């Protein structure tokens, strides 16, 4: 007879190719320990040609996992393979969070939540801005633009070297979003209350262009989804020009919380202890 005191263990994953760089196991491992939950969260490197089989094992119960996170290059494929998408994932065409529920594989995307929750935490009131400039139109910008539109900002200007990429975002997310070439950056920044860098410029010490932030509205906020280094060249420039800045680390931390709740049944807290733990890990690498 099974011991009635036996603990039910829930397992979750993060999968990508590669995935060894992911700090998600550190984040979720901290929460599991903090909340005293018997469970695990592991990195699963899965190549593109093996991803469908990995997902099928989850759906048919052969996998030991209840769900997990999906990162590059699997986000769009995860969306296509899930049984049920929420509105966020369906509009984005990409999912980063999967979970089994009533025999079906559900999918959402928590990147936008992570982005706005980070701003809420570090600079409350940022959403009083009417106008935002989103610099870059790559995959990371989708969730940012969606979340800004859903938060109620009136105008979202997407600026990108290849205007057609920016136009794709405008077509996807509606009339509040407009596309502009890099040459128009100074013009569209005029009186904007939020500037978001979604490009990789400045990541890991790479070069970043000089930007004149003085055209922004008084009290504007500048944020960067890059978090290595924590203070990117663009954030340093904005600080030197007298603007409030919000680093990108909080986006990583806050996007993790909804998934943890789906798999382990408790909503974790993003606090300074977790932030400092991840920063210490960043300093080691």
Give CA–CA dist 128/107, Å, rounded: 31
The residue from 20, 33, 75, 284 that is catalytic is 75
Is the CB of residue 230 less than 8 Å from the CB of residue 251? no
> Token pair for residue 226?
């890059």
Nearest CA among 215, 214, 237, 258 for reference residue 67: 258
SS3 217: coil
Q: Is residue 75 among the annotated active site residues? A: yes
Contact partners, residue 22, CB within 8 Å, separation at least 6: 14, 16, 43, 71
- How far apart, in Å, do the first and last CA atoms of the chain sit? 48
> Do the Cβ atoms of 127 and 190 come closer than 8 Å?
no
Residues assigned a catalytic role? 75
């Amino acid at each position: 007879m099974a011991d009635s005191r036996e603990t039910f263990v829930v397992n979750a994953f993060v999968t990508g190719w590669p995935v060894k760089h992911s700090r998600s196991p550190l984040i979720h491992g901290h929460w599991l320990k903090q909340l005293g939950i018997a469970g695990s969260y592991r990195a699963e490197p899965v190549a593109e040609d093996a991803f469908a089989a990995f997902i099928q094992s989850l759906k048919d119960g052969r996998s030991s996992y209840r769900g997990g996170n999906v990162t590059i290059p699997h986000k769009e494929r995860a969306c296509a393979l899930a049984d049920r998408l929420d509105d966020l994932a369906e509009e984005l065409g990409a999912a980063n969070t999967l979970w089994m529920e009533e025999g079906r594989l559900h999918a959402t995307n928590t990147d936008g939540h992570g982005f706005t929750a980070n701003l809420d935490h570090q600079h409350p009131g940022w959403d009083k801005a009417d106008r935002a400039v989103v610099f870059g139109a790559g995959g990371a910008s989708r969730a940012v633009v969606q979340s800004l539109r859903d938060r109620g900002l009136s105008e979202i200007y997407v600026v990108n070297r290849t205007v057609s990429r920016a136009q794709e975002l405008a077509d996807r997310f509606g009339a509040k979003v407009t596309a502009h070439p890099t040459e128009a950056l100074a013009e569209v920044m005029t009186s904007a209350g939020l500037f978001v860098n979604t490009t990789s410029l400045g990541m890991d010490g790479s070069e970043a262009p000089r930007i004149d932030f003085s055209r922004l509205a008084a009290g504007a906020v500048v944020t960067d989804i890059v978090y290595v280094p924590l203070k990117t060249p663009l954030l340093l420039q904005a600080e030197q020009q007298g603007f409030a800045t919000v680093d990108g680390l909080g986006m990583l931390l806050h996007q993790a919380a909804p998934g943890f709740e789906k798999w382990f049944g408790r909503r974790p807290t993003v606090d300074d202890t977790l932030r400092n733990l991840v920063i210490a890990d960043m300093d080691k690498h």
